[in-house]
Structure 1
Amino acid sequence: MNTRFAVATHILAYLAHAQGQPVSSEVLASSVGTHPVVVRRLMSSLREAGLVQSQRGAGGGTILARPPADITLLDVFRAMRESDPDIFQVGSTNPNAQCDLGGVMQATLEDMFGPAIEAMRAALAGITVAQVMQELAKRLPGACPGAAG
């Protein structure tokens, strides 16, 4: 299962929690529980989408490019799905076109999944990183090791 969206949301929430202080990929990787190289790859996509910016040099790292209230989870989803445009992988299947059922399966599933995909997009567009932070604050017992704030 692809975890890019969940990990990218985690990264953005951490950066929001850091309140403008640059955070290294090593610190982010520690919080996410993955390797810094994975974080750097995701950050490249987030940077291209205009969600984060990097600061080089001593004390450098990554910060949010926009306020948390201006970043929706749909923005994150779109940034992460560049390499995975077919959410349900319908286009990745290869049914037998000579079979009556196989010949119409992809188009049928695409038509049926379309409303679900649109509902998901609408739901994600209605949730901001700031709202994620509000929910996290309800559950946050204390700071993470290496966390700002």
Structure 2
Amino acid sequence: MNTRFAVATHILAYLAHAQGQPVSSEVLAGSAGTHPVVVRRLVGTLREAGLVQSQRGAGGGTLLARPATDITLLDVFRAMQDTEPDLFQVGSTNPNAHCDLGRVMQETLEGLFGPAIEAMRTALAAVSVAQVAQELSQRLAGCPGNPG
């Protein structure tokens, strides 16, 4: 199962929580429970999408490239999709045109999946990384033993 979207969202929420302080890939990886190489690859993809920037040198790391309120989960999803085919991959199928079902399958699936894909995009566009960070802060504040 692909976790890049979830880990990329985790990275961006962590950066939003860091409030402008650069964060190393090791710290991000430790928080996300993955390897720093995975984080560096995802950061590279997020950088290409214009969502993060990197500072080199001592005290360097990754920062948000724009305010967390201006980055939606749809932005993150699209950045991760650039390196993968469409979520439902309907256009990648090659049904048998000589089969009665095969001839109409792709059009049928596109008609059925289209509204679901559009609903997902609408839902993701409605949530900013700032909202994810705020939700995380609220959950942390409610944790026993957390001074937050």
Q: TM-score, normalised by structure 2?
A: 0.91
Structure 2 counterpart of 1:25: 25
Q: Within the alignment, does 1:6 sit opposite 2:1 as a pair?
A: no
**Range that drifts further, 78-87 or 66-75:** 78-87
- In the TM superposition, what are the counterparts of 1:104-123 in structure 2 within 5 Å? 104-123=104-123
**What CA RMSD, in Å, does the superposition of the two structures yield over aligned residues?**
1.6
SS in 2 for 1:83: coil
- The list of structure 1 runs, each at least 4 consecutive aligned residues, that deviate by more than 3 angstroms after superposition, is none
The CA distance in 2 between the partners of 1:89 and 1:100, in whole Å, is 21
Q: Deviations over 1:103-140 (max 9, x none)?
A: 21112101211111111111111100111111111211
Shift of 1:95: 2.4
The CA distance in 2 between the partners of 1:92 and 1:37, in whole Å, is 30
Q: Within the alignment, does 1:65 sit opposite 2:65 as a pair?
A: yes
The CA distance in 2 between the partners of 1:106 and 1:33, in whole Å, is 38
Q: Which has the higher contact order (CA 8 A, sep 6+)?
A: 1
- In the alignment of these two chains, the number of paired residues is 144
AA paired with 1:76?
V
SS in 1 for 2:82: helix
Q: TM-score, normalised by structure 1?
A: 0.90
- In the TM superposition, what are the counterparts of 1:54-133 in structure 2 within 5 Å? 54-133=54-133
Q: Deviations over 1:6-31 (max 9, x none)?
A: 11000000011111111111111111
**Structure 2 residues without counterparts, runs of 5 or longer:** none
AA paired with 1:70?
D
**Range that drifts further, 86-95 or 116-125:** 86-95
Structure 2 counterpart of 1:146: none
The CA distance in 1 between the partners of 2:6 and 2:100, in whole Å, is 38
